[in-house]
Amino acid sequence: MKILSYLVVYRRFLLIVLTPLLLLPLPLIIKTKEAECAYTLFVVAIFWLTEALPLAVSALLPAFMFPLFGIMESKEVASAYFKDFHLLLIGVICLATSIEKWNFHKRVALRMVMLVGVNPAWLMLGFMVSCAFLSMWLSNTSAAAMVMPIVEAVAQQIVRAEAEADALEMSCSNGSINLALELDGRHAVQYDNNVGSTVCTTEKENEKEKEQVLKNLPPVEAGRKSKKDKYNGIFKVMCLCVAYSATIGGLTTTTGTSTNLIFAEHFNTRYPTCQCINFGSWFVLSVPITVIILLLSWVWLQWLFLGFDFKNMFKCGKKKTAREEASIQVIQEEYKKLGPMSYPEIVTLVLFILMTLLWFTRDPGFIPGWSSLFPK
């Protein structure tokens, strides 16, 4: 057992030392450039899979091993590690850091959600649109990480409001009313001693209960279980919609995700005479696809978790439920906390708009762009 414990403790050191030694017969026996390249590939792949070394350190091993084996010269290997799209990616990361530091992403997300409303279906669409918009300019992971705290705050407020509504409903059904019980200052309980009547304002849910699951349960327990299942569905779909929309938004621009930049770089390298992939052409091609996929994902997630009810979605003047009132409150409170736009936010917004305009006008395709002023 001591040996096993030592192996577990020093497993990374053993992997770093033994992996190159055990694979060394490959280039020694098969003395070809292909075998030497395969040896490098296997070593890097094993280090990546086991994370014996940090991923970034493992990625730098070919810069040392390729010149060592004579596969490529040092200048050729070094040029592959820093191309023009790497510099573009660094610029995007700097902008994303500024957006996150000054909470500009939070302002954009909250404003979009406030525009679409707090009905569960529209609330989900608001989160999806805001997250997809952020993901167009930032990495997918950053966009999801920025929007998820807002979703969590809304979800917590929904739980609190619905718990208070349940407590109020329970007190009404038992015939005992607490005069101090209020629901966010909006739902109150009144008792008239002269008449002996109790007036209780409660919210009633319109969802159908699952008959087979709730058939043998008492009425109170059945109601609790039905509501619990419904809330779990709402929270699940909110988290999923953020994850999906972050991925979908990354398709829209070449800078939305690094895979788009890698594809564009390889395409332009393989077909140098066909300079047809730029920011504008990619955007024009991808926007319709992104919109269609986003809407289909919204419909599918809503139907799967909430049920697609056109009547409730587009009904005007409908009284808001406790969940919707809670969502309105938390979104407005979060937006008020941001205060007016600060100077760094304004500068970040100006730079963001300027960068986007320069990307679009660099080489639009139908007219000469500003890049034609610098032919060399």
Q: What is the pLDDT of residues 255-271, one digit of tens each?
A: 888 888 888 888 888 88
Structure tokens at 95: 């902008």
Could you tell me the pLDDT band of residue 45, with boundaries at 50, 70 and 90? very high
Tokens representing 114 are 């406030």
- What is the number of other CB atoms lying within 10 angstroms of the CB of residue 270? 8
Give the separation between CA 360 and CA 26, rounded to whole angstroms: 50
- Report whether pLDDT(78) > 80: yes
Report d(CA 51, CA 61) in Å as an integer.
Answer: 14
Question: Rounded CA gap, 121 and 63, in Å?
Answer: 51
Confidence (pLDDT) at 297: 92
Handedness of CA 73, 75, 81, 84 (dihedral sign): negative
Cα(148)–Cα(143) distance, integer angstroms: 9
Average pLDDT over residues 78-105: 80
Q: Whole-model pTM?
A: 0.58
Average pLDDT for the chain: 75
The pLDDT tens digits of the residues spanning 271-315 come to 888 777 878 888 888 999 999 999 999 988 888 887 766 666 655
More confident position, 172 or 210: 172
- What percent of the chain is predicted at pLDDT more than 90? 7
What pLDDT, on a 0 to 100 scale, did the predictor assign at position 169? 58
Kindly state the tokens that stand for 173: 């059904």
The DSSP letter of residue 197 is E
Secondary structure (3-state) at 200: strand
Q: What is the pLDDT of residue 159?
A: 64
Q: Could you report the per-residue pLDDT of 164-201, keeping only the tens digit for each?
A: 656 655 666 555 444 343 444 444 334 344 433 433 34
pLDDT surpasses 70 at 216: no
pLDDT of residue 79: 82
Residue 233 CB-density burial (10 A; 0-12 exposed, 13-18 middle, 19+ buried): middle
What pLDDT does 318 receive? 61
User: Which residue pairs, CB below 8 angstroms and at least 24 apart, start in 291-300?
Assistant: 293/248, 293/251, 294/128, 294/129, 294/132, 294/245, 294/248, 294/249, 297/128, 297/241, 297/244, 297/245, 297/248, 298/124, 298/125, 298/128, 298/241
Cα Rg for the chain, rounded, in angstroms? 29
**Distance (Å, rounded) from C-alpha 373 to C-alpha 376?**
9
Give the position of tokens 């990480």: 145
Q: How many residues does the chain have?
A: 376
The residue that leads in pLDDT, 36 or 206, is: 36
Lowest mean pLDDT among 38-47, 234-243, 359-368: 359-368
Q: What is the pLDDT of residue 87?
A: 80
pLDDT of residue 368 exceeding 80: no
Q: Which is it for the CA torsion 248, 259, 236, 163, positive or negative?
A: negative
Torsion of CA 247, 252, 253, 256, to 10 degrees: -10
User: How close are the terminal C-alpha atoms of the chain, in Å?
Assistant: 67
